[in-house]
């Protein structure tokens, strides 16, 4: 798993016999295809396969594959993850290339051809392209390799220590920044965190990490505290016992880990395990997790979507581990595989180029081939076939493989592309699940949802209160796919669910109420459309009394839209009218609506008394009331209402007459017709 070695075989054994291939083919028919939860990416990086004239190198830092033909004389083709990072050039054949890498951003190419020195070629336009060389400064030391830490800084690793250089491309020379003497067996470099790990001591199990940081244009190198890997057996006499192949570095859930593939030993554990050492930037490295592989043999490690993937060659299967998934029946931090072992999804190599015959099927790819090399975090390279794949986790098959739905949700909620799968789990548990499971699923979802809402809220609060001294600018919380909000649930799960045939309405309502319960439990404000859905479902099945009880206990929270919805139900369910008015009253911002409702019911006096009781009498439209009063056909009512508004006018304006803007002329005429002029309140003469 170290970088840039040509073809690191996963296994030195011969290709598996053909018999096994048949078995695999058959298995593919028997097993649900959807059982493969790992797959190779669809668009691999393709390069010229390794051969006697073509050497292939891989640079983990830039994720570039170098195909070096005849030592570069007939061309070097560099393929990166995207077209931008792909380059092709020629260089003089000055001996066998041991290692070749671009600095970050393809600025400078470094090529190692001897054990003593590294050669450099500028790729910056307008700079001289002639090669220049840097020999290692330590006497009698051999260069094991080198790593770029920035666009112009790199570190040489020799068997006697490390030398940190800055390249000066214009001067075609290097300046040493720092060096450190230490006996080195082998090294590993994690480009993501720019941490270099050196294997020291005779047994090789004392690891010394160094951290590189780019700060203000010039890099720094700092020594981190060293730590020891516990070996299964301590050899006597001491000899190198920790192989670089059994160590890998990776970032999992934002934390750096050193992964140690601990093979079984006759004395202690009967099966192999992966031991994780947490390597903090500051502080001591500690053994934190043990992943039980429950088998022996040859393994390789990948990290995909914060999952540790362990490939097992002889069974041609892989296991995944989630270090955040707590195992109830294991000691703390000992983990069993999340899912049963499965092989990577069968892969067929697409035939590209003009030679493609449409009827010709793609060729099945030999998975877990001995010619595969595995790199961190998620790269698999088949040098002999000329492919670089990214390993991916396919979430849909996990749904059927993980029976414990609570655990499944925990697992899914931590995955990157989880939203649609989570929603499908919700739909499924609505379909055939049981309420306690549905409840667990909802609670887990809403836990994450609530955390996001809270983060968002404190962010907004922090932004509003302005920058405060001493604290960094607030960072907007990232909304991951695991945040499944109410509209997601409504659109993808609940709304289709209520329309599904063959599900009892009792269960549908139970599921809806369970979701509302869960939201309430996490103190999340329930959105109107959910209430609407509940009401719609209840009405559809004639469960009005149920609805009434829900409203009575304020399970469906008050809002104007909800009150209006209830009003519209009055014709099918009379009590809805009362429920609606109560709700409007509680809202205390809906006095106009209450007046409208009462007037529409011809309760003119009631409306008038109400508006007076809330102190809105002075501002209401007199015409509206007079219209309603006249419509009732009740003359005394009309009289009362008319007089009451005349009195209002008197009080407000000192005159009982209506303003032209009030458009009450016809009502004045009507009043006079009914009761005569003398019934009008006369303007008091001063």
Partner 1 sequence: MLMISPRMASGMQEKQYTPSLLNFFVYNPTFGQKEGEEEKKILFYHPSDVEKNEKIRNVGLCEAIVQFTRTFCPTKPAKSLHTQKNRQFFFEPEDNFWIVMVVRNPMIEKPNKDGKPPTVEYQEEEIIDTVYGAVVKQCYSMYKLFNGTFGRQMEAGGVELLIQKLEKFFYRYLQTLHLQSCDLLDVFGGISFFPLDKMTYLKIQSFVNRVEESLSLIKYTAFLYNDQLIWSGLEQDDMRILYKYLTTSLFPRHSEPELAGRDSPLRPEVAGNLLHYGRFLTGPTNLKDPEAKFRFPKIFVSTEDGYEELHLIVYKAMSAAACFMISASVELTRDFCEQLDGLVGPQLTLLASDICEQFTVNRRISGPEKEPQFKFIYFNHMNLAEKSTIHMRKTASVCLTSVHPDLMKILGDINCDFARVDEDEEIIVKAMTDYWVVGKKSDQRELYVILNQKNANLIEVNEEVKRLCATQFNNIFFLD
Place of tokens 């560099």: 78
SS3 for 540? helix
CB neighbour list of residue 280: distance below 8 Å, 6 or more residues apart: 255, 256
CB of 681 to partner 1, least distance (A): 25
Query: Do residues 657 and 651 make contact, with C-beta atoms less than 8 angstroms apart?
Result: no
Q: Which is nearer to partner 1, 76 or 439 (CB)?
A: 439
User: Where does this chain bind partner 1 (CB under 8 A)?
Assistant: 434-436, 439, 506-507, 510, 513-514, 516-517, 520-521, 545-546, 548-549, 552-555, 574-575, 577-579, 581-582, 584-586, 594, 603, 606, 609-610, 613
Q: Which is nearer to partner 1, 89 or 545 (CB)?
A: 545
CB of 493 to partner 1, least distance (A): 17
CB of 506 to partner 1, least distance (A): 7
CB of 579 to partner 1, least distance (A): 8
Please spell the DSSP secondary structure of 277-329, one letter per residue.
EE--SSS--EEEEEEE--S-S-EEEEEETTEEEEEETTTTEEEEE-TTSPPTT
CB of 59 to partner 1, least distance (A): 56
CB neighbour list of residue 25: distance below 8 Å, 6 or more residues apart: none
Q: Which is nearer to partner 1, 393 or 453 (CB)?
A: 453
479: closest CA among 451, 446, 440?
Answer: 451
Please spell the DSSP secondary structure of 631-679, one letter per residue.
HHT-HHHHHHHHHHHHHHHHHHHSS-SPPGGG--HHHHHHHHHHH-GGG
Q: Which is nearer to partner 1, 6 or 582 (CB)?
A: 582
Report the chain's terminal Cα–Cα distance, integer Å: 105
Q: How far are the Cα atoms of 290, 310, 399, 471 from residue 322, in angstroms, in the given order?
A: 11, 11, 15, 34
Q: Which is nearer to partner 1, 226 or 548 (CB)?
A: 548
CB of 630 to partner 1, least distance (A): 19
Q: Which is nearer to partner 1, 256 or 439 (CB)?
A: 439
Per DSSP bridges, beta strands 45-46 and 387-393 are antiparallel
Q: Which is nearer to partner 1, 224 or 551 (CB)?
A: 551
- Torsion over CA of 524, 530, 535 and 538, rounded to 10 degrees? -100
CB of 502 to partner 1, least distance (A): 15
CB neighbour list of residue 120: distance below 8 Å, 6 or more residues apart: 108, 109, 110, 111, 131, 132, 133, 134, 167, 169, 172, 174
Query: Do residues 278 and 269 make contact, with C-beta atoms less than 8 angstroms apart?
Result: no
Q: Which is nearer to partner 1, 434 or 672 (CB)?
A: 434
CB neighbour list of residue 586: distance below 8 Å, 6 or more residues apart: 558
CB of 582 to partner 1, least distance (A): 5
CB of 516 to partner 1, least distance (A): 7
- Torsion over CA of 516, 520, 523 and 529, rounded to 10 degrees? 30
Residues 427 and 277: their CA atoms lie apart, in Å, by 39
H/E stretch holding 262? strand 255-262
SS3 for 229? coil
Q: Give the burial string for 352-364 (b: 16+ CB within 10 Å, else e).
A: eeeeeeeeeeeee
Q: Give the burial string for 570-587 (b: 16+ CB within 10 Å, else e).
A: beebeebbebbbebbbeb
SS3 for 36? coil
CB of 555 to partner 1, least distance (A): 6
Q: Which is nearer to partner 1, 38 or 620 (CB)?
A: 620
CB of 585 to partner 1, least distance (A): 4
CB of 403 to partner 1, least distance (A): 19
CB of 679 to partner 1, least distance (A): 24
DSSP assigned state of 489: I
CB neighbour list of residue 150: distance below 8 Å, 6 or more residues apart: 103, 104, 214, 219
Q: CB atoms < 10 A from the CB of 127, how many? A: 14
279: closest CA among 196, 199, 215, 201?
Answer: 196
């Amino acid at each position: 798993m170290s970088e840039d070695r040509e073809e690191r075989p996963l296994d030195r054994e011969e290709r598996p016999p053909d018999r096994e291939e048949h078995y695999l083919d058959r298995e593919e028919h028997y097993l649900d295809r959807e059982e493969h939860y790992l797959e190779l990416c669809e668009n691999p990086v393709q390069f010229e396969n390794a051969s006697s004239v073509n050497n292939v190198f891989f640079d983990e830092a830039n994720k570039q594959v170098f195909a070096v033909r005849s030592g570069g004389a007939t061309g070097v083709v560099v393929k990166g993850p995207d077209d931008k990072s792909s380059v092709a050039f020629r260089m003089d054949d000055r001996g066998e290339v041991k290692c070749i890498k671009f600095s970050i951003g393809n600025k400078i190419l470094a090529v190692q051809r001897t054990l003593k020195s590294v050669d450099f070629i500028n790729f910056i336009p307008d700079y001289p392209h002639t090669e220049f060389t840097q020999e290692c400064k330590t006497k009698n030391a051999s260069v094991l390799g080198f790593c770029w830490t920035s666009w112009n800084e790199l570190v040489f690793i020799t068997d006697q220590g490390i030398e940190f250089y800055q390249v000066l491309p214009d001067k075609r020379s290097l300046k040493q920044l720092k060096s450190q003497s230490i006996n080195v067996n082998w090294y590993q470099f994690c480009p993501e965190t720019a941490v270099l790990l050196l294997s020291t001591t005779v047994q090789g199990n004392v690891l010394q990490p160094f951290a590189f940081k780019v700060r203000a244009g010039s890099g720094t190198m700092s020594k981190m505290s060293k730590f020891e890997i516990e070996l299964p057996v301590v050899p006597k006499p001491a000899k190198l016992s920790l192989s670089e192949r059994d160590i890998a570095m990776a970032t999992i859930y934002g934390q750096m880990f050193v992964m140690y593939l601990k093979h079984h030993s006759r004395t202690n554990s009967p099966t192999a395990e992966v031991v994780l050492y947490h390597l903090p930037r500051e502080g001591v490295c500690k053994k934190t997790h043990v992943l039980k592989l429950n088998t022996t043999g040859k393994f390789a490690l990948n990290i995909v979507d914060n999952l540790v993937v362990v490939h097992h060659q002889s069974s041609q299967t892989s296991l995944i581990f989630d270090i955040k998934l707590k195992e109830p029946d294991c000691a703390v931090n000992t983990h069993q595989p999340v899912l049963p072992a499965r092989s990577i999804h069968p892969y067929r190599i697409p035939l590209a180029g003009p030679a493609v015959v449409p009827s010709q099927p793609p060729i099945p790819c030999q998975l877990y081939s001995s010619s595969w090399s595995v790199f961190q975090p998620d790269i698999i390279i088949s040098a002999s076939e000329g492919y670089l794949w990214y390993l991916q986790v396919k979430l849909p098959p996990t749904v059927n493989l993980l029976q414990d739905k609570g655990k499944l949700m925990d697992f899914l909620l931590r995955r990157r592309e989880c939203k649609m799968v989570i929603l499908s789990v919700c739909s499924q548990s609505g379909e055939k699940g049981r309420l306690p499971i549905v409840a667990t699923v909802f609670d887990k979802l809403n836990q994450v949802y609530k955390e996001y809402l809270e983060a968002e809220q404190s962010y907004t609060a922090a932004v509003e209160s302005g920058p405060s001294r001493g604290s960094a600018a607030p960072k907007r919380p990232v909304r991951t796919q695991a945040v499944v909000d109410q509209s997601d649930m409504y659109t993808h799960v609940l709304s289709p669910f209520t329309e599904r045939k063959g599900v009892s309405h009792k269960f549908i309502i139970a599921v809806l109420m369970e979701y509302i319960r869960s939201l309430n439990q996490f103190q999340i404000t329930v959105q109107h459309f959910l209430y609407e859905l509940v009401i719609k479902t209840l009405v559809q099945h004639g469960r009005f009394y149920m609805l009434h009880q829900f409203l009575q206990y304020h399970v469906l929270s008050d809002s104007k839209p909800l009150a209006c919805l209830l009003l519209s139900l009055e014709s099918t369910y009379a009590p809805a009218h009362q429920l609606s008015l109560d709700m409007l009253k509680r809202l205390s911002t809906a006095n106009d609506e209450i007046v409208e409702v009462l007037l529409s019911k011809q309760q003119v006096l009631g409306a008038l008394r109400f508006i007076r009781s809330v102190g809105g009498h002075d501002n209401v439209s007199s015409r509206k009331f007079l219209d309603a009063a006249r419509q009732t056909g009740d003359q005394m009512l009309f009289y009362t209402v008319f007089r009451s508004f005349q009195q209002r006018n008197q009080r407000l304006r000192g005159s009982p007459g209506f303003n032209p803007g009030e458009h009450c002329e016809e009502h004045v005429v009507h009043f006079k017709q009914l009761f005569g002029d003398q019934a009008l309140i006369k303007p008091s003469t001063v």
